[in-house]
Structure 1
Amino acid sequence: MTPKFNRIILKLSGEALAGEKGFGIDPEIVKVMAEEVKAVHDLGVEVAIIVGGGNIWRGVTGEKMGMERAQADYMGMLATVMNALGLQDTLENVGVPTRVQTSIEMRQIAEPYIRRRAIRHLEKGRVVIFAGGTGNPYFSTDTTAALRAAEINAEVILMAKNNVDGVYNRDPREDDTATMYNELTHLEIISKGLQVMDSTASSLSMDNNIPLVVFNLNRPGNIKRVVLGENIGTKVRGK
């Protein structure tokens, strides 16, 4: 039961919090996620979480509706804050000390993002949830995960996917002949055009030699299995 990683970034999509509802936050789903995070935290692993906002709002959706992209993206950042607060409450209800840090200041509900403070929280055994994306429009929460991983010296990014076991050459939900990769590099992800992270996030991860594990969030215990080094999902090498 010795963890392979001591400090991780866990990337959760906003859609994962919605469950089968497809919109909003499903309290039962969030509770299951909190229990999974607790199991990893109890191993002594330092856990930071990036959560998306797609269950509430997507900037690209607003742009398609005719909104200015920057304005739509700021709305998406606020959606991630809502998800982070919901996740924080549930984590603390299961006994996990938690801090939320936002890249856009809103001191009444969360700390502003300060790198050294975030690292100190992790060292003290608190789960840190980074909300608000990078604080800038045109950047995804995937890019936030890569940026924060580099800043806090995380050993790996765990990319938790909904009902997808890893990285495939084609969408397995649309093509039964799709095959899963066991191992890739960030450069291969970019050159093959695989939909894992956006190109900015992949480039940032590659430049900073940050490995990635893509796995199925919906299989109970998978987060812990990845942290313990079990061979599940797709491993993406930093170089």
Structure 2
Amino acid sequence: MDSNYHRILLKVSGEALLGEQGHGIDGDILTQYSEEIKSIHDEGFEVSVVVGGGNIFRGVKGATEGMDRVQGDYMGMLATMINSMALQDSLERMGVQTRLMSAIRMEEIAEPYIRRRATRHLEKGRVVIFGAGTGNPYFTTDTAASLRAIEIEADVILKGTRVDGIFDSDPEINPDAVKFPTITGEEVLSRQLDIMDLTAFTLCRENKTPIIVFDMNKVGNLKKVLQEDASVGSKVVWEDS
């Protein structure tokens, strides 16, 4: 497949794994995502993945009301590990070699995150899944995705969501929302568009890392994004890159 990208970081939300369920992991969605990742891996792309933990952590949100923020954030990191392990198992059952790397040491189930080791796994054709966020409280999985993408020198961050791109308002609420096929980082900030948290976005801006937001739930979209199909998703570009 012809593409300007070779090494990618895919960020998917934990909520997306809910599917039609109220909690947990929808097996059909997990299989669909794994098949999408396998399809681009088979094309020769070096693929890394960061998965959020909202599908699990949201289920215990009531219990965390009033809880210490740091304690809650560590619980969220453990939720990402559950999702990462599920994705790893699903990919391995499809014959895709993977490595799960954790920002928090838990050697029985994952390798500790080491940048050089992660890049070596990618060079050897393994899908690398980054779990446990950055390993620090007060940082989101969006920030973890941006940080890991920069560290491994990914060509692009692909943010898989439930909507196909960046709009001037929420398309799930406003049916007349206008989509931006391409948008500058400065316009994202001036319009206060909620793509990712400010820390994550600033990391991408400072390192000129492209971001593409697209609908991960539509079969075939991941491959179309890498083919730079203008009908799919929205790309954030940096003015002086």
Q: TM-score normalised by the shorter chain: which range applies?
A: over 0.9
Q: Which letter maps to 2:69?
A: R
- Checking the alignment, whether the CA contact within 8 Å between 1:156 and 1:213 is kept in structure 2 is yes
Within-5 A mapping of 1:159-198: 159-162=159-162, 164-198=163-197
**1:46-61 matched pairs, under 5 angstroms:** 46-57=46-57, 61=61
The DSSP-based 3-state class of the residue aligned with 2:39 is helix
C-alpha distance in structure 1 between counterparts of 2:150 and 2:60, whole Å: 26
What does 1:194-213 align with in structure 2 at a 5 Å threshold?
Answer: 194-213=193-212
Cα 1:21–1:183 shift into 2, 3 Å: same
> Does the 8 Å CA contact 1:142/1:198 hold for their aligned counterparts?
yes
Q: How far apart in 2 are the matches of 1:137 and 1:236? A: 27
* Residues 1:207 and 1:7: Cα distance change in structure 2 (over 3 Å): same
How many residue pairs were aligned?
238
Name the SS for the 1:25 alignment partner.
Answer: coil
Q: Is the 8 A contact 1:99 1:129 kept in 2?
A: yes
TM-score relative to the length of structure 1:
0.95
User: CA 1:113–1:62 in structure 2 vs 1: closer, same or farther (change >3 Å)?
Assistant: farther
Shift of 1:238: 3.5
Q: Deviations over 1:93-136 (max 9, x none)?
A: 11110000000000000000000000000000000000000011
Distance 2:72 2:59 in 1: 4
CA contact (8 A) 1:58 1:72 kept: no
- Post-superposition CA distance 1:199-221 (Å, at most 9, x none): 11111100000001111111110
CA offsets, 1:180-212, max 9 Å, x none? 111112232222211110111111100000001
State the secondary structure of the residue aligned to 2:201.
helix
- Structure 1's 19 and 190: CA in aligned 2 closer, same or farther, altered over 3 A? same
Paired letter, 1:160: G
User: Does the aligned pair in 2 maintain the 1:12–1:51 contact within 8 Å?
Assistant: yes
Indicate conservation of the 8 Å contact 2:9/2:157, yes or no: yes
Query: Is the partner of 1:100 in helix, strand or coil?
Result: strand
Residues 73/32 of structure 1: CA separation in 2 closer, same or farther (3 Å cut) = same
Tell me the TM-score normalized by structure 2: 0.95
Consecutive unaligned residues in structure 1, runs of 5 or more: none
